[in-house]
Structure 1
Amino acid sequence: MAARGVVGIFFLSAVPLVCLELRRGIPDIGIKDFLLLCGRIFLLLALLTLIISVTTSWLNSFKSSQVYLKEEEEKNEKRQKLVRKKQQEAQGEKASRYIENVLKPHREMKLRKLEERFYQMTGEAWKLSSGHKLGIPDLPEEPSQTAAEVVTVALRCPSGNVLRRRFLKSCSSQVLLDWMMRIGYHTSLYSLSTSFPRRPLAVEGGQSLEDVGITVDTVLILEEKEQTN
């Protein structure tokens, strides 16, 4: 289309020149010279048409190559985005597995160690034991201070706290063990002893507090038993 337009413009611009030459040479020009002149003009037009055709074809191929390169660049960019997305997903999965398999167990182990250290410092190492099921025994109702035959027992815990409670002297000595269990000290891990003189307190279910020697206000020591392998 463009080549035809250029040829047409060239042809129209060449007509006046041809006419001028013909006017100058009418007296002397012959048929042979006229045919030669026409042949030269057509040869020039053919050469120009070839040049324009080749140039147009080259321009079209250049444009096509640019479009092709642009499409290839867009495809490469899409492929790169897809690859980056897959790499990010793989990195995310890898990070999740690392957190789940490494960081989380390490964090839990560290928390367990801190918990063990805390309970050992507070004297509540029994809480770390998984071999005992702690029940919550019932305790008799605490009598009033003015009631007869009442003793106050002070229980000194390994943590340094001192707990006090009133009991009737006629209560079973087992109530002391129930009290220990109720405040969280298992009898398989802890024992009772008198403060002065320091001796283990023999507690039996068939004996009362008075029978085991608790006849007045008494301080008892709650201490951890020595663990044997």
Structure 2
Amino acid sequence: MVSSRIVLAFAFVSIFFIGLTTWKSSNIGIRGLLLLFGRALLFLGFVTWLVSTVIPRIKSVVWTPPKHFPEDIVPDAEVERKLQLARKEKQEEYRTRVAAYQENVLHPREEIKLRKKEEKFYQMTGEKWKLSHGYVLGVDENSEHISSQEPEVAFESPNVEARCRRKLPESITQLPPSPKPITSKKIVILPEEPPFDMEGVFTIALRSPSGRIFKRRFIDSQSTQVLMDWILKLGYHPAIYTIYTTYPRRPLEATQETTLGDIGLVKDMVLIIDEKDT
């Protein structure tokens, strides 16, 4: 329909231009020009009617359209069934992808997170040994590959096998150490302080490292070991501490043979308890 309209419009425009040029080049008046246009329009109308009526009949006689057999027509139910089957296949493919993603990505990720939480928890509680897999009873971790190469021995029962393979701690297999001989503690007994009016009596004041001062009376004939027993009685062991003079600072040599008078202690004086010089 659109093509016929275009043909008519083109024919009308052509006739108009042809008539216009003919009218200018000839002596035809306006009336003759209108008659010419009318005849052209009638001719075009006749041609159009002829084309629209004759050509379809010629096509129907000459060209026969292909016949559609019933089996070529697909019913709607079959189309719907195929669509549903395609949807199911697509959904099954998506489910397979989701399952593979969960198994290969999500589950390992969750296991790693859970393992880290367990390690942190057992480290905080001090039970980190629970994270180890352990080993077979009676088989050390380092000797596992050695024991696997040993020939198998038949045992009467699993209990006998476990008893034979059990690895006892060294504290059980080793003999207990021999008891050390009990050494008797030294009991310090100081002699009685001499009276004030006794000949050769003098007072010694000991200044401890804490600043406390202890006083006691002695006589010049007593052994210097009495001084060492005195500081031991006060809580200062002679193996670590000794007695020094104030000025000049020098340690006192205390032995059983020397007396207080031999080392110059014959009058009241102040001595110092301090650690031994290394």
TM-score (norm 2): 0.39
Greater Rg over alpha carbons, structure: 2
TM-score (norm 1): 0.45
Flag the structure with more relative contact order, 1 or 2, with Cα contacts below 8 A and sequence separation at least 6: 1
